[in-house]
Structures are given as C-alpha cells and as structure tokens.
Structure 1
C-alpha cells in the first residue's frame, strides 16, 4: 500500500514540476503565435505558426529587418519587420527605402521588385515627418515597422512608431504547417 502511494506521489510531483517549467518557459522565454492575415506576404503566410523569442530583447536591441511581434492594442498583437531604428530618418521614394537619405536594399522584397511592372507601386512614398507623431528622427526606445506586403499592411505608416515596451519579442521560426518549416528573417 505504501509503494502505491509513493508511486502516485512521484507522478503528481513530476506533473507539477513539468507544469511549472512549462509556465516559466512560456512566461519568460518562448510563446507560439499564429500569423493572422496577409500583411507579411510573401515572407509569412496567413495561418503560419511561429515561435516568439521573448527573451532576446532583454539582452540586445532589435536590429534592422528583425521580424517582431508587438502589442498593437490590449487585444491584438501584430507581426511586422523592423525597418527604422532610434536616431534614424526613414523614407521611401519610388519603391526604394532610404535610411538617413541613403538607399538600403531590402533582400526579402527582391523577388517582388523583380516581378513588378514599371508603373507598379510596392510601397507608397512616405517620409518619417509625415507619419503619426511627425518626428524628424526616430526617438530612443522606438522603432519603425512595416509589413512586407506594403500595399496591404497596417504598420507604422498608420499607427505610428512602436515603443520597445510594446514589443513582445522576435520571431523567426515557422514550425507549422510542415511544408513551411523554416527560419525566416533577414
């Protein structure tokens, strides 16, 4: 009888430890997220399932072209790409990204740009001063984010700059569906 009680106690103890470890991992390190909508096409597809690294920005700052998840509202998280960093001026003119008035290649858009017709617009022209907030340069602890599907994305062009406090983490691993398993990013 004592052996049976001991076995049950060991099983319950192991289960509680597993639940505690899962809670800590999900709370502080990694969470799953499902892409909702076409704003990151062609890089991410609607319903792609990804892992978000919540820890990485505690030890380093976001880098240009990182794909981040952030709180757009109390009820909605968005997935977008970091384009502009603190202290920078960002503009797009004739489908070319300019950071501090210098053209910057966007390798994740190369295929789209190659297949465009000469009159086609991938990204409407804009400059930082004309976005919500009217900044001349991106303030400290903020980033400018854009969706890869520039003609169909709610991003910094309409919602303004994103504060570091809004960022949940970085995502780069698609784990579902099986035929889309890959590391994405720069």
Structure 2
C-alpha cells in the first residue's frame, strides 16, 4: 500500500508541475491558496461570507429580541460563523457571535463573543454564563466590531441569551452608534 501511495503522490506532483507550467503559477503555492480561500468561509460561496461592516453605514437598525431555535439566526441568539481577524488580511476563524438585528435584505448584524475578561472597557459588554460556552466561562461581546452575517454563512445555532443581557448589549450599541 505504501508503494501505491508513493506512486500516487508522484503522479499528483507531476500534474501540479505541468499545470503550473501551463498557467504560469507556482505549483507549490496553488494548493495553499485554494485551501486558504476555502478556509476563509468554510468552503461557502463568498456572497454568504460574514464580513465586518462600518456601523455608521448600515442605515437604520431596529433591534428586537426575538430568538427562535428554528435554524435561522435571530436577534438574541448566539450562532457560529467564520469571523475575519481584526488585521483584515483575509484570515479568520470560526467563532460565536450574538445576532443583534435583522436587516431588510435578510442579513443579520452581529457582535463577536469572547471569554477573555474585559470588565474595564467600553468596547465589551458582559452577557454572563450560558450554554454557548461548554466550559461554563463568563462571556462578553465586543461592541467595537459589527459583522454582517448571511443566514447561509453561519455554521450552527448555539443558544439564546436572556432578554436582560440582550437589552444591555442593544443599549450599548444604540449609545455608541446612535442606532434606534
């Protein structure tokens, strides 16, 4: 079996070299680039990608607490989606976000969760402990970064936060961005 694997690897390498020669690309970098693009949104089409948005540019935002564990991301629910890193270099990772509003186009606005304590920052609002963190750690949301989540870009629903925590997050977002 190991000789078959060697032959197969050799054949694949040969095809990559030939493809690189025909396309003018580096055969070693092409697979990495494809892998990076696929990892950026877990292989989902780019139009479903979670993206960071300028909160001032999203227009009128109506925040209403309406969680419903129906498979769709609803305000008040924590969902998992690919989130771009703050460096905005095309990389990111799968993270929990709190859905805070639904936009007319069907996309959702969200803020990122963290379990790293942030008691002294106006960018972070405590939402307590909940089933979204299997280790039972307290969580905060970062109101300093707002994301647009497409329902087809999320990986899964985790759970809903309680209404009083949602109201606290909504108040912080309204105060910071002058949302209604």
TM-score range, shorter chain: under 0.3
Report the TM-score when normalising by structure 2.
0.27
Larger relative contact order (Cα-Cα within 8 Å, sequence gap ≥ 6): 1
